[in-house]
Amino acid sequence: MERIMHFQWYPGHMTKARRMMQENIKLIDLIIELVDARVPLSSRNPDIDELGRNKARLILLNKADLAEDTRNDEWVDFFKKKGCSAVKVNSKKGGGIKSIQSVIQEACREKTERDRRKGILNRPVRAMVVGIPNVGKSTFINALAGKACAKTGNRPGVTKGKQWIRLNKNVELLDTPGILWPKFEDQEVGLKLAFIGSIKDEILQTEELAAELVKFLNSSYPGVLEEQYDILAVGDAYECLRDIAESRHCLVRGNELDTEKAASILLDDFREGKLGRITLERPEAV
């Protein structure tokens, strides 16, 4: 497994991201933290708890469309029990977005009441979106703001001045999301982030990664692989990749099975939700 983990998030990136986060957090009342609904813990960075002390917190289970819905609800409960507001959303299709403005107001109620007692009225709540790369921060900001205010795609380290997006008379959103660094030192976390594609494939061993995914699916979602690829019952993970290669006619040099191609097909299918809605982490295991 060790070879899988040769991805890099240089210490310099981390220091810069942390510094930017510290600066921006001073300006806001509410942290809107996006996590990936398929891996709600592995896609978090607990450092945000420390950085965001004394701020209102809202956790969004993004990409909820790709995760099992009953699990999404369990995770929402889990985060609520920890004292955060939490909702599931699909930023890509806009699911759950409409209710966000009221959820934001609710998450900041204490702060608004405090202001009111001090005689501060009509001061909008200021919020900032944070999350690890690729979790959907830009897509969410676009969906919430209703127009292309923030560019989607990966733009590490881009900040030019501070721009606020006025969502309504009560809420303003910092247009630049805060980038959190993944907990890359934890191998299990790294593996799950690689499954969902938030760590680049070129620096990973595709077949090894796919074999790990086969093992997970076979034990947690039995029957899914057999049905999707029309193959016999899965036993050995590498045998399974060969079966997928055969079933999908992935061949090299004439008639040799191309298991590397099969591995890529499997990973892509999983990431695009073609294997169905799958959650890699469950709250009861925490």
Min. distance of Cβ 151 from ligand G4P in angstroms? 8
Size of the site for ligand G4P (CB under 6 A): 18
- AA letter at 271: R
Q: Which is nearer to ligand G4P, 37 or 211 (CB)?
A: 37
SS3 (DSSP) at 136: coil
Q: How far is the CB of 140 from ligand G4P (least distance, A)?
A: 6
What would the x/- binding string for ligand G4P be over residues 34 to 73, using CB under 6 A? ----------------------------xx-xx-------
Tell me which residue has its CB nearest to ligand G4P.
Answer: 136
Q: How far is the CB of 96 from ligand G4P (least distance, A)?
A: 9
The CA distance from 37 to 219, in Å, is: 20
Nearer to ligand G4P, 66 or 237 (CB): 66
Tell which positions 122-181 bind ligand G4P, by CB under 6 A. 131, 133-139, 152-154
* Tokens representing residue 243 in the block: 């079966």
Is 90 among the residues that bind ligand G4P (CB under 6 A)?
Answer: yes
Q: How far is the CB of 135 from ligand G4P (least distance, A)?
A: 5
Scanning 20-28, 47-55, 85-93, 182-190 for contacts with ligand G4P by CB under 6 A, the matching segment is: 85-93
Residue 111 burial by CB count (10 A; 0-12/13-18/19+): exposed, middle or buried?
middle
Helices 187-195 and 259-271, axial angle in degrees (round to 10): 90
Please say which residue, 136 or 190, places its beta carbon nearer to ligand G4P: 136
* Min separation Cβ 116 and ligand G4P, Å: 34
Phi, psi of 27 (to 5 degrees): -90, -5
Taking each helix axis as running N to C, give the angle between helix 187-195 and helix 206-220, from 0 to 180 degrees, rounded to the nearest 10.
Answer: 90
Rounded to whole angstroms, the Cα distance separating 258 from 243 reads 10
Q: What are the φ and ψ backbone dihedral angles of 17, each rounded to 5 degrees?
A: -60, -40
* Residue placing its CB nearer to ligand G4P in the complex, 67 or 189: 67
* Terminal-residue alpha carbon distance, the chain: 23
Instruction: Return the closest-CA partner of residue 209 out of 2, 52, 60.
Output: 2
Computed on alpha carbons and rounded to an integer, the radius of gyration of the chain in Å comes to: 21
* Residue ranges binding ligand G4P (CB under 6 A): 62-63, 65-66, 90-92, 131, 133-139, 152-154
